[in-house]
Amino acid sequence: MSSCQSTGGMTSTPSLAPVRSEDPAWAHARAVPGARNNTECLYCNKIIRGGGITRLKHHLAGIPGDVEACKNVSEDVKWQMKELLNEMKKSKEKRRRIRSEIGGDIDLTSDDIDDRNSMEGQSQLSKGKGKSKESGTGESVGGLSRFFAPRTTPGAQPSIKSSMCSNEMIVKAKMAVARWWYDANLPFNAAQSKFYQPAIDAMTTIGPGFKGPSLYELRGNLLKMAVNEVQDYLQQIKKIWNETGCSLMADGWTNQKQQSIINFLVYCPKGTMFLKSVDTSGLRKDAETLFNIFDEVVQEIGAENLVQFITDNDASYKAAGKKLQQKYGSFYWSPCAAHCIDLMLENFSDPRYFPLIDDTIKKAKKITKFIYNHGWVLALMRKDFTKGHDLCRPAITRFATNFLSIQCLLLFKKELRQMFTCDKWIASNHSKSSIGKGIAEIVLEDKEFWVQCQFIVKVSEPLVHVLRLVDGDEKLAMGYLYDAMERAKENIKARCNNKVSLFSPFTRIIDSRWDRQLHSPLHAAGCFLNPGIYYSPNFKNKNEVIRGFNSCVMKMELDPDNQDKIIAELDLYKNAIGEFGHSLAIRQRDKINPVAWWTQFGCEVPTLQRFAVRVLMMIAEQRLPVVSLAVLYGSREVCGFLRKEAIVQPQFVLDGGGG
């Protein structure tokens, strides 16, 4: 920064700032020798005659008047000068007001005003009547915001005082934070918290002498305030359930103490929140018991707000979900899409029907297990052959991991064969062991193994793509799942050269799982309302998805008048009339997500627009909670407080709080 450079020259030149002048503006100018109150700008070398430092500030700030604006000054310096002028103006007004209050001609210095301001601020804080309040996200919503510069880039813009600090002072301040960090044994990624920089900004606003919260404050009033803050945020999420609808998800699992627990999560466009957890370890998990538990949760949310209820594919869960759907009739039960697709992949490797695929997967596991259980072999592979790439690719499900690992083996087939014939391998003890010889024999001599790997990738890869779709965050899967499953089946047929004997066993598995478990009118409606799919000339199932759409309208929209409005407005969408037919709307069908498209171009059909957004915003699989007290405030002591206040269940805090 040019100001920093000029500062270094000022120390050796007698013609710089007047003695004892501490105004920060002098870092950007020098005094003209022999000319009183004349200054020279360091950026444009303009001589400013008269007015001293005040006219210089106007010059640097670019304020029109009796002095020409500097054309070379940076935006940061310009903003700093404006702030200095504003502070000077406020200081004058403050002195004038205080002078009028005491009725005298006493000349108050800026130090007097600062003392008075600080005393007023302390009295407000001590009484707890301060109007400024900061939200949990670190965004100031009150008085503190006036102390910060406008943010033009991520991270806070430095204040006038901090911009004048030397590098030595900055390093010293950072080292003070680092010593506390290391002593408290905090994880380094805690510095990426969105609350980190706002906390520093708030402390530097108060200035030197600020005392951090004590142990008793952290575990007492401050913790209660933070909990209230999060609860207020959760209430904001709950308010929009009626507008956009929501999905209820039941996530059953067993903790380390072998307790059976069901976590209930609620998804809406605002976010996914943890609702409650129920300990079912002492209960019999039959359909009737689960139905009673689920029914209580549905009543807590409000059946009118619910669009779908998602569970896993267990028979008792399915029976309870179907019974719940029949009782209320206004929402759908759906199995977790990711779990359902994983079961399809599991059937692909069922040894009863596909023994060759099962045998190939077992051989692939032998290869990866041997390599990853021997550090020397793993290092050899990564360093000399795969350039750091791995063979095991973690995935969301167990069977998807198996198929992805086979893809990797096939991708690095050449490199693996080279590794098991290189001099280093031959000279090693591993090549002489019985297991090492067996692995090398599979890689080098078992041609049937590699042929089967190619076939497995052929038939599984399209389904793995669908699994990535429903588990990813890039797209809302509800508008794409129906079409994605149809495309996956067509892709498998094409990869098998349309030979019925090859593809039919796999497409039958997909159809069986899809028809009996996963498919619902909600998926068909989502496909129908997705403009990128519905308007595509290659889309063939329009009649089927329209039937699903009609079913959703009758089930989800209980008001007959609104049902009639939706059907009346439907022709504009189906025939691309009005806003739907504009060239911009046509171009954006594939470029933006369906919800954004309906929000932008569906204004002429408000009832249909609201219904479309309600359907398309739903998700197709279970998600972990992203908004909960235990997640946001996850220390052991915080969890203890939450249990004490009965805010969350003990099981969730102790074992599931980290998601």
pLDDT of residue 281: 84
Q: What is the CATH number of the domain that holds 325?
A: 3.30.420
pLDDT of residue 294: 92
- 37-87 per-position pLDDT tens digit: 788 888 888 888 877 778 888 888 888 777 888 888 877 778 878 888 888
- 288-304 per-position pLDDT tens digit: 999 999 999 999 999 88
Mean pLDDT calculated for residue range 106-115: 43
In a domain, 568, yes or no: no
pLDDT of residue 476: 60
Nearest Cα residue to 629 out of 643, 615, 619, 618 = 643
Mean pLDDT calculated for residue range 513-517: 79
Q: For the chain, what percent of residues have pLDDT higher than 70? A: 78
pLDDT of residue 453: 93
- 246 and 353 both lie in a single domain: no
In a domain, 634, yes or no: yes
Query: What does the alpha-carbon distance between residue 147 and residue 132 come to, in Å, rounded to a whole number?
Result: 12
Does residue 585 sit in helix, strand or coil? helix
Query: What does the alpha-carbon distance between residue 142 and residue 520 come to, in Å, rounded to a whole number?
Result: 48
- 280 and 411 both lie in a single domain: no
First to last CA, the chain: 45
pLDDT of residue 655: 32
Mean pLDDT calculated for residue range 416-435: 93
CA 104 to the chain's CA centroid: 60
DSSP for 236-305, please give it: HHHHTHHHH-EEEEEEEEE-TT--EEEEEEEEETTEEEEEEEEE-TTS---HHHHHHHHHHHHHHH-GGG
**DSSP H or E segment with residue 47:** strand 47-48
Does the structure show a pLDDT above 70 at 102?
no
pLDDT of residue 119: 41
Mean pLDDT calculated for residue range 469-474: 66
pLDDT of residue 497: 92
In a domain, 486, yes or no: yes
pLDDT of residue 584: 93
- 357 and 456 both lie in a single domain: yes
| Beta carbons of 603 and 609 less than 8 angstroms apart | yes
- 378 and 306 both lie in a single domain: no
Domain end call among 498, 519, 540: 519
Domain end call among 452, 485, 519: 519
Does the structure show a pLDDT above 60 at 152?
no
In a domain, 563, yes or no: no
- 101 pLDDT tier (thresholds 50, 70, 90): low
pLDDT of residue 137: 38
- 658 pLDDT tier (thresholds 50, 70, 90): very low
In a domain, 252, yes or no: yes
Of 49-63, 148-162, 165-179, 345-359, the range with the highest mean pLDDT is 345-359
- 333 pLDDT tier (thresholds 50, 70, 90): confident
Does the structure show a pLDDT above 80 at 621?
no
Of 349 and 646, the one with more pLDDT: 349
In a domain, 492, yes or no: yes
In a domain, 8, yes or no: yes
Does the structure show a pLDDT above 90 at 601?
yes
pLDDT of residue 163: 60
Nearest Cα residue to 410 out of 371, 442, 374, 457 = 457
- 558-585 per-position pLDDT tens digit: 889 999 999 999 999 999 999 999 999 9
- 356 and 270 both lie in a single domain: no
Model pTM above 0.85: no
Domain end call among 57, 89, 121: 89
pLDDT of residue 91: 81
- 418 and 500 both lie in a single domain: yes
- 366 and 462 both lie in a single domain: yes
Listed range (124-133, 190-199, 317-326, 641-650) with the worst mean pLDDT? 124-133
- 380 and 510 both lie in a single domain: yes
- 367 and 514 both lie in a single domain: yes
Listed range (44-53, 415-424, 448-457, 471-480) with the worst mean pLDDT? 471-480
All residues at 6 or more sequence positions from 430 whose CB lies less than 8 Å from its CB, including other chains: 374, 376, 377, 436
Nearest Cα residue to 528 out of 468, 622, 598, 463 = 598
The overall average pLDDT reported for the chain is: 78
pLDDT of residue 194: 82
DSSP for 380-413, please give it: HHHHHTSTT--S----SSHHHHHHHHHHHHHHTH
Mean pLDDT calculated for residue range 458-481: 77
Q: What is the number of H-type helices and E-type strands within the chain?
A: 32, 8
| Beta carbons of 486 and 507 less than 8 angstroms apart | no
Does the structure show a pLDDT above 90 at 435?
yes
- 234 pLDDT tier (thresholds 50, 70, 90): confident
pLDDT of residue 640: 53
Query: What does the alpha-carbon distance between residue 315 and residue 23 come to, in Å, rounded to a whole number?
Result: 77
- 404 pLDDT tier (thresholds 50, 70, 90): confident
- 361 and 494 both lie in a single domain: yes
> What domain range includes position 410?
347-519
Query: What does the alpha-carbon distance between residue 366 and residue 640 come to, in Å, rounded to a whole number?
Result: 45
pLDDT of residue 147: 35
- 438 and 387 both lie in a single domain: yes
Does the structure show a pLDDT above 80 at 391?
yes
Mean pLDDT calculated for residue range 354-369: 92
Q: Provide the domain count of the chain.
A: 3
In a domain, 186, yes or no: no
- 389 and 444 both lie in a single domain: yes
